[in-house]
Amino acid sequence: MSGKKIENWNIVLKVPAVQASLNPAAQELIEKAEKEGVETAWHRYLAQQPQCGFGLLGVCCRNCLLGPCRIDPFGNGPQKGVCGADADTIVARNLLRMIAAGAASHSDHARDIVHVFELVAEGKTKSYSIQDVEKLLTVAKSLGIPTDGRDTLEIARDVAHVLAHEFGKHDEEPLRLIMALAPKRRKEVWQKAGVMPRAIDREVNECMHRTHMGVDADPVNLLLHGARTSLADGWSGSMMATLLSDILFGTPKPIEYVINLGVLKEDYVNIVLHGHNPVLSMKIAEVAMSPEMTELARKYGAKGVNVAGMCCTGNEVLMRLGIPVIGNLLLQELAIITGAVEAMIVDYQCVMPSLATLADCYHTKLITTEPKAKIPGAVYIEFDPANADEIAKKIVTIAIENYPRRNKARVYIPKHKSKAMAGFSVEALLNILGGTLDPLINALKDGTIKGIVAIVGCNNVKVKQDFSHITLTQKLIENDILVVGTGCWAHAAAIHGIFTKEAAEKAGPGLRKVCQALGIPPALHMGSCVDCSRILLVLGALADALGVDIPDLPVAGSAPEPMSEKAVAIGTYFVASGVFVHLGVIPPVLGGKKVTKILTEDIEGILGGKFYVEPDPVKAAETIINVIREKRRKLGWPV
Amino acid sequence: MKTEKKLIIANPKLCTGCKSCEIACAVEHSKSKDLYYASLETPSPIQRIRVLLKDSYNMPVRCQHCPDPPCLAVCPTKAIFQTPEGFVLINDSLCAGCGLCVDACPVGAIQMHPELKIAVKCDFCVDRVRAGLLPACVEACPTGALQFGTLDELRSKARASTRTKFEEIISPNTLREMYKTVGWV
C-alpha cells in the first residue's frame, strides 16, 4: 500500500500528500502535520485499513440483540441473520437508517431556524430581524396565508405556525410546503407511488420503526419509504431552512469572496466558523467585524479580527456577507495545523471530534455552542438566539484574548488563495436572466446550453481531495453543460478557479457565450447543503415552464466525493424528484443484489430517477453527457 | 515434506478485512478468554494476527512457524524454541525483551508487548490444537478465508470447493480496485 511502511510489527503511517489532495495548500499542511507528529483524517484512514468488508457491502446488521449478524458475501458462510433477514433486507434497512439520519440532520437544522424565526415574529429577540420582507410575502402567499394589509410580523407568525406543523402533524395530508412548491406532475407521481410525505419527523420516526427487529423486511417497501423520508427533507425540511434563512439573513445576491487556507492572516486574530447553521455564524461574523472588537484585538497586539468560514456555515455567511472562506470538509483539521487559528467556533454536522485533540496540540480554542453537539476537550458556550449579541461578544472576546498565546514559531499559513463569485439564489438567477427563466429555456432548447448538472456533496478521504469534483465539473462545462451546486463541491470549485468569469473561457462555445453575455461563471454556487432545495425549485420551475416532468429534463445530479448520511438523503430526494444521480463513492449497498438493482435500474420506472455509481470522474462525465443527450433526443431538441 | 504438519493458510480473496480473527486472537490470549471480561483486563490482551492491506487485497498476517526460524537463531537467551509439532514458541520467563527476534522476523510477525516488555507472537493456539480444537483465528473467520489442516487436507478441501466464483462477486477487493483511478491508498 502506498504510504504505508511496515517496520516489524509497528506500522509507520505516512500520507503521500500530493496523492491525497489536489489542493496545494492542503498538501503543504499535510506535510506540516507529519513533521509535527499530529494526525489527520488521512492518517486515521490509513490506520483503519483494511476497512471491514461486511460494512463496505452493507451486510452487517446491528439492529437487535440477537445479533450482530453478518451475511457472507461469498456465499460460503451464513446467508441469513438470526431473525431470518437476508442480505437484501439488511442492506435496505441499513440504507433506510442512513436516509433517516440525513433527513433528520437537515430538518433539525431547519427546526432551529424556525425557532429563531418564531422568536423574531413574536418580538422575543432583538438580535435578529426580518431582512427579506418580499420573500416572506412570497412564501406566505404560496402557503395560502393572507398578506394584504397585514403587519409583517403577523404574517411571519402565521408562516411560523404552518412551518412548525410540518414537523409533527399527525394527519395523513401531504406536507404543506410540498403542495405549495413541488411541480404538479411530480406530486401525482408521488401520490401514485405512495411516497407522498406526511410529516417530517413522522417519516424519520417511521424509518426507525420499520427497521426495528421484525417489522419491515421487504426491500422494495423499505426503499420506497426511504424515498418518502428524503422527499420530506428536500421539499420541506431543507426547503424551509433555506426559505427562512433567506428571510432572516437576506436572499443571496452575486457576491465576490476569497477562498483557501491562505485567507488566514498572520497578524490578525483568526476566527474560523465551522458547522452549518447561519443563526450562530452570521451573528459571530457581525460581532467580530465590529469596531469594538477590532479595538479589543489591537489591545492584544493584533491588527484586527479576521473571520473565515468553513464547510456549510461558511457557505451560509459567504453567500450573504462575502466573508473569506477556508474551504471544505478535509481542510478543517489543516486550519488548526496552520497554528494561526485563535478559535474555531462550531455548531453541528461534519465537525470532526479530532478537532479537540488538535486544538490541544496548538493554541486554538475549539468552542462548541450547541446542547446537542458537544465535544470532549472543547470549550462549551451555549448559544442562545434570544441573547445572541452578548454570547457572540463573549465568544469573540475569548478568541481575541487567546491571541497572545499563539506560538509564532509554529505558524505556517500557505500562500494559496483564489478569488471566487457566489450568491446565485433562485431569485438572483432570475434577476440575471431578466426576471424570467425564458432565456435559459431558450438556450437549452436551441442547444447553446446542452443541459444542467447539479453537483453537491462532501470530501471523502477515499478520493483524492477535490479531484473528482474538479475533473467532473471541467468535463461537463467543456461540453456546454451548465453546472450548479452547493456544499463542499462549491468550495472545491472556488479554490480551483471555476467560480470566476474568466473560467468561462474553459467552457464549450455555447456555454461560454451565455456566461460572457450574463457575466457569470460557468458553474454557479447556490449555497450550503440545505440549499440543494434551491436546485429543486429550479428543476420544478423548468419542468412547469416546459409542460413536462422533471425526468424529461436534460439534467442530472452528482455527488462525486460523498461522505455523510446527509449526502445519502440528498441523493435520494434527487432520485425521487426524477433526477439521474451519480455517486463517486460506492455506498454500502452492493451486498444486496436486489437492492442494488432497484436503486440503479428499477426505481426509474417508479420515480423517474435512479442512481449510477462510478468512482472515475472521467467515465462518470461521459455517462452523464450521454444521459443528457438521450433526454434531449426524447424532447426533440438538437443534441 | 512432512504432510502431517499442521498449517493455517489465508486466502486473501475471501478475506473481507473484518478483523474478527484479531479480536478472537486477543481474547484467546487474555486471562479470562472471554470477550466481555477481556476488554476490562490490565494489561489489555493483544492480538498476534493482523489484517493488512496490500495491493487491494486483505491479508491476515501471522507467524509462519518457519522450519528454520531466524528468530530462534538470534535469540540470546534461548527463549524461542520449537515444539514436536513444529510450532515456534516463546518461553515468556526466559525472554529478556532485547527485541532481536522482532528485527529478525521476515514477515514482521513478532511485536514487543508494550507493557510487559517481552516478545509476543502467534503460538498457533498450541493448547487448543493439542485439545483437538481449531486455532481461535480460524474458528472466528466468518468467510473461511483462514483454514486449518495438514497440507493434504487443505489441498483436498480446495479441490472440493466449487461454490465460489470470485469473478462474479463484488468483493471489498473489487471495490478498492474501482477506486484505483481516483484513490490514493
Confirm or reject contact between B162 and chain A (CB < 8 A): no
Let me know whether B166 and B148 are in one domain: yes
Arithmetic mean of pLDDT, A176-181 = 97
CA distance B121 to chain A (A): 10
B111/A462 touch (CB, cutoff 8 Å), yes or no = no
Annotate A57-83 with DSSP letters as a single string: HT-EE-SSTT--EE--TTSSS--B-TT
Averaged pLDDT for residues A66-91? 94
A6 pLDDT above the threshold of 60: no
B124 burial type by CB count under 10 A (0-12 exposed, 13-18 middle, 19+ buried):
buried
- Is A213 in CB contact (< 8 Å) with chain B? no
Q: Are A600 and A462 part of one and the same domain?
A: yes
Chain B CA closest to residue A57: B172
- Residues A101 and A134 placed together within one structural domain of the fold: yes
pLDDT tens digits, A431-477: 999 999 999 999 999 999 999 999 999 999 999 999 999 999 999 99
Number of structural domains in chain A: 3
Average pLDDT estimate for A198-220:
98
Instruction: For residues B136-152, give the mean pLDDT.
Output: 94
Asked if the C-beta of B41 comes within 8 angstroms of chain A's C-beta atoms, the answer is no
pLDDT score of A1: 36
Longest dimension (CA), chain A: 79
Q: Are residues A214 and A268 in the same domain?
A: no
Length of chain B: 185
Interface contact A50, partner B, CB < 8 A? yes
Residues with Cβ < 8 Å from A348, sequence gap 6 or more?
A: A105, A109, A275, A276, A277, A370, A372, A373
Residues B116 and B126 in one domain: no
CB nearest A76 (choices: B55, B109, B164): B164
Could you report the predicted ipTM of this complex, rounded to two decimals? 0.86
Q: From the CA of A617, how many Å to the nearest CA of chain B?
A: 8
Distance CA B149, CA B155 (A): 9
Residue A34 CA, chain-centre distance (Å), reads 29
Does residue A271 sit in the same domain as residue A327?
A: yes
- Do A405 and A444 lie in one domain? The reply is no
- Whole-angstrom CA distances from B48 to A375, B111, B148 are 34, 8, 17
Q: Give the three-class secondary structure for B70.
A: helix
Residue A18: closest C-alpha in chain B: B184
Decide if A77 and B52 are in contact by the 8 Å CB cutoff.
Answer: no
Tally the C-alpha atoms within 13 A of residue A549's C-alpha that lie toward its C-beta: 15
Feature table: binding site of A for [Ni-4Fe-4S] cluster: 276, 312, 350, 458, 488, 529
Same domain as A624, residue A481: yes
Mean pLDDT of A352-370: 97
Query: Pick from A178, A174, A172, A141: which is nearest to A159 by CA?
Result: A141
Q: What is the pLDDT of residue B3?
A: 58
Regarding whether B134 and B82 lie in a shared domain, the answer is no
**Mean pLDDT over residues A354-363, rounded?**
97
State how far residue B14 is from chain A, nearest Cα, in angstroms: 7
Cβ contact (<8 Å) for A73 and B16?
Answer: yes
pLDDT for res A320: 97
What long-range pairs does A432-440 form, CB within 8 A, spacing at least 24? Answer: A432/A254, A432/A518, A432/A519, A432/A520, A433/A518, A437/A541, A437/A542, A437/A545, A438/A545, A440/A542
**B2 and B58 fall within a common domain:** yes
Q: Which chain A residues are closer than 8 Å to B111 by Cβ?
A: 8-10
Domain count, chain B: 2
All three cell numbers of B181, joined, read: 483511478
Q: What is the pLDDT of residue B173?
A: 84
Q: Can you give the pLDDT at residue A321?
A: 96
What is the domain-level CATH number for residue A516?
3.40.50.2030
Is residue B158 less than 8 Å (CB to CB) from chain A? no
Q: What is the pLDDT of residue B171?
A: 81
In which element (H, E) is residue A510 found?
A: helix A509-518
> Do A555 and A453 contact (CB within 8 A), yes or no?
yes
What are A254-307's pLDDT values in tens digits?
999 999 999 999 999 999 999 999 999 999 999 999 999 999 999 999 999 999
d(CA A268, CA A270): 6
Tell me, yes or no, whether A286 and A206 share the same domain.
Answer: no
Residues 6+ apart with CB under 8 A from B150: B3, B4, B5, B6, B7
Q: Which residues contact A420 (CB under 8 A, 6 or more apart)?
A: A256, A257, A258, A259, A493, A494, A495, A497, A499, A500, A525
* Alpha-carbon gap, residue A347 to A275, rounded angstroms: 5
Q: Which DSSP symbol is given to A332?
A: H
What residues in B contact A61, CB-CB < 8 Å?
none
Residue A277: give the domain boundaries. 261-410
- Residue A611: pLDDT over 60: yes
Which pLDDT value is given to residue A557?
98
Cell readout for A133 is 420582507
Q: Is A436 exposed, middle or buried (0-12, 13-18, 19+ CB in 10 A)?
A: exposed
Interface check for A53 against chain B (CB to CB < 8 A): the answer is yes
CA distance B18 to chain A (A): 4
Which residues of A carry a binding-site annotation? 52, 60-61, 64, 69, 83, 276, 312, 350, 458, 488, 529
d(CA B83, CA A170) in angstroms, rounded, equals 72
A49 touching B (Cβ < 8 Å): yes
* Alpha-carbon span B74 to B72, nearest angstrom: 6
- Paired with A366 in beta bridges are A344
What pLDDT digit, counting tens, does each position of A241-252 carry? 999 999 999 999
* Last residue within a domain, chosen from A381, A410, A439: A410
Same domain (yes/no): A599, A526: yes
Nearest to B182 among A10, A73, A468 (CB): A468
Does one domain contain both B55 and B79?
A: no
User: Residues A367-389: pLDDT tens digits?
Assistant: 999 999 999 999 999 999 999 99
Residue B104, chain A, CB below 8 Å: the answer is no
Q: Are residues B44 and B54 in the same domain?
A: yes
Helix (H) or strand (E) segment spanning residue A444: helix A438-446
**Arithmetic mean of pLDDT over chain A:** 96
A288 and A188 fall within a common domain: no
Average pLDDT estimate for B31-50: 92
Instruction: Kindly indicate the confidence band of residue B55, based on its pLDDT and cuts at 50, 70 and 90.
Output: confident
Same-domain pairing of B75 and B112: yes
Whether residues B1 and B89 share a domain: the answer is no
* Amino acid letter for position A485: G
Dihedral angle computed from the Cα positions of residues A294, A300, A301 and A304, in that order, rounded to the nearest 10 degrees: -20
* The pLDDT of residue A4 is above 50: no
Residue ranges making up the domain that contains B87: 66-120
SS3 A344: strand
Query: How many Cβ pairs within 8 Å bridge chains A and B?
Result: 120
Same domain, A568 and A622: yes
Same domain, B19 and B53: yes
| Residue A445: Cβ within 10 Å count | 17
CATH of the domain at B79: 3.30.70.20
Instruction: State whether B55 and B128 are in the same domain.
Output: yes
User: For the domain that residue B23 is a member of, what is the CATH number?
Assistant: 3.30.70
| pLDDT at residue A495 greater than cutoff 50 | yes
Task: Tabulate helix, strand, coil % of chain B (nearest 5).
Answer: 30, 15, 55
SS3 A482: strand
Q: Provide the shortest C-alpha distance from residue A613 to chain B (in Å).
A: 10
> What's the pLDDT score for residue B168?
58
**Residue A540 in domain:** yes
Percent with pLDDT over 90 in chain A: 97
Whether the predicted pLDDT of A14 surpasses 70: yes
Q: Would you say the C-alpha torsion B53, B55, B60, B62 has a positive or negative sign?
A: negative
pLDDT average, residue stretch A556-561: 98
SS3 (DSSP) at A108: helix
Q: Which domain-ending residue is among A204, A224, A249?
A: A249
- Do residues B109 and B121 lie in contact, with contact meaning Cβ atoms separated by under 8 Å? yes
- Same-domain check for residues A557 and A489: yes
pLDDT, residue B165, reads 54
Evaluate if residue A390 carries a pLDDT over 80: yes
| Lookup: cell for A255 | 457576491
The answer to whether the CB atoms of B171 and A19 lie below 8 A apart is no
Contacts 24+ apart (CB under 8 A), A630-635: A631/A451, A631/A552, A631/A553, A631/A554, A631/A555, A632/A447, A632/A450, A632/A451, A632/A554, A634/A552, A635/A548, A635/A552, A635/A554
Residue of A10, A51, A60 best to disrupt the B interface, most CBs of B under 10 A: A51
Q: What is the pLDDT of residue B180?
A: 86
Q: What percent of chain A has pLDDT over 70?
A: 98
Pairwise CB contact (< 8 Å): B183 & A615: yes
Structural domain contains residue A138: yes
Is the pLDDT assigned to residue A363 strictly greater than 90?
yes
> Are residues B185 and B138 both part of a single domain?
yes
Q: Is A612 on the interface with B (CB under 8 A)?
A: no
* pLDDT at res. B181: 84
pLDDT at A216: 98
Look at residues B75, B105, B120 and tell me which one is the last residue of a structural domain.
B120
* pLDDT band per the 50, 70, 90 thresholds, residue B176: confident
* Nearest Cα to Cα of residue A322 among A258, A412, A410, A274: A258
Domain harbouring A236, CATH code: 1.20.1270.30
Element (H, E) at A310: strand A305-310
For residues B72-83, give the mean pLDDT.
97
Binned at pLDDT 50, 70 and 90, residue A38 comes out as very high
Residue A83's Cβ-count burial label (10 Å; 0-12, 13-18, 19+) is middle
Q: Does B183 touch chain A (CB under 8 A)?
A: yes
- Do A99 and A240 lie in one domain? The reply is yes
Contact B164 A77 (CB under 8 A): no
Largest CA distance in chain B: 52
Q: Mean per-residue pLDDT for B33-61?
A: 91
A37: in domain: no
Confidence of residue B13 (pLDDT cuts 50, 70, 90): confident
Distance CA A226, CA A208 (A): 11
Same domain, B49 and B129: yes
